[in-house]
Structure 1
Amino acid sequence: MAITSRLTELDDASMSAAQREVLAEILSGPRGNLDGPFLAWIHSPELANHAQRLGAFCRYATGLELRLRELAILTTAVWWKSQAEWQIHAPIAEQAGLAPEVIAALREEREPAFEQDDERLIYRVTRALYAERRVDDALYAEAVAMFGETVVVELVGVLGYYALVAMTLNVFAVRRGDDIPLPFEEPSRS
């Protein structure tokens, strides 16, 4: 699938040795491609190197079940109106077992009618952190009781990482191709 952005296109001849090294690491890892923010981050190989390692942990190695991780990522994509982040993660979320009705409600910025308590709690923590920039004592205690302290720490890491991803995708207008409809209305650019 063609990825587009407003960045200067890099090819082997224009890349530095550091960029080639990070590119090789990204391509040999679990992602296997420059999808998403890596198209932008490769312009700064040090950022790309650190971010791709954090991203590999956040996407593949936290204590959060994949379904819950993807719920947190989609909630982040909605918050930031991140087109490519949604396009990449909505199919993964559905394959991981997040109900299509939940996914549709998120995209439409409605609170989903969750059937599972763990999903409802991930959504509440995520929304509280984004809207209030805090999680109150009662909600924090509820999250720790359900998931454990380590997983709550990792959830905050996932949210921070995917907020960085969303900002990157938005600033550099990264798109997954013109043939895929955008999930969110695009604000007019001046």
Structure 2
Amino acid sequence: MSKRLPDFQIATASDAQKAVLQDILSGPRGNLNGPFLGWIFSPELAQHAQKLGAFCRYDTGLPLRLSELAILVTAARWRSQAEWHIHHPIALDAGLSADIAEALRTNRTPTFADADDKLIFDFSTELYETKRVSDATYDAAVARFGHVVVVNLVGLLGYYALVAMTLNTFGMRAEGQTDLPFAE
């Protein structure tokens, strides 16, 4: 899975590594696809990160389509091959337009029919590009989703940036991935 990390062997895994693997496999993900076999070399980081990830993926208060849109914005921003490969079909199944996804993948500004999609895109893009969110975008997000969900959205964006950095640094690919959505 990685050109830069040794193959992980369960036979030589520490108790802490086995515990993390069990928590991931018995949780809502049910698989190790993504950064987990990179993080497993630091089981304490892996445990904290996987718990944060489960929250960010499943419990932010955003509908799945909007969470997956934010994840695809992140994957495209970081040109994260595995992150895109894993989340693109989930986003489409959740109702995100294939045209929006393709615009993100090819670094174009999508055309949005849904105001919530545009708001999530604007919020995410502003944060990544300017390292801030304008008052207008922030106020619109809070008015639409509330403070708790906006805090959770920032957490989701930060978590998936960590995922992308991990996957990119260690050259990790998704299970079964043969095509690359971004040029290397």
Q: Taking structure 1 as the reference length, what is the TM-score of the superposition?
A: 0.94
Deviations 1:63-90 (A, max 9, x none): 0100000000000001111000000000
Pick from 108, 111, 119 the counterpart of residue 110 of structure 1: 108
- Equivalent in the alignment of 2:63: 65
Give the alignment of 1:28-107 within 5 angstroms. Answer: 28-107=26-105
Q: Is the 8 A contact 1:78 1:106 kept in 2?
A: yes
Q: Is the 8 A contact 1:5 1:175 kept in 2?
A: no
Deviation at 1:180, TM superposition (A): 2.2
Deviation at 1:136, TM superposition (A): 1.4
Q: Secondary structure at the match of 1:103?
A: helix
- Equivalent in the alignment of 1:25: 23
CA RMSD of aligned residues (A): 1.2
Cα distance in 2 for partners of 1:98, 1:177 equals 23
Q: Secondary structure at the match of 2:70?
A: helix
May I ask how many residue pairs the two structures share in their alignment? 184
Deviations 1:23-49 (A, max 9, x none): 111111111111101010111000000
Cα distance in 2 for partners of 1:27, 1:177 equals 15
Q: Taking structure 2 as the reference length, what is the TM-score of the superposition?
A: 0.97
Deviation at 1:6, TM superposition (A): 2.5
Deviation at 1:103, TM superposition (A): 0.7
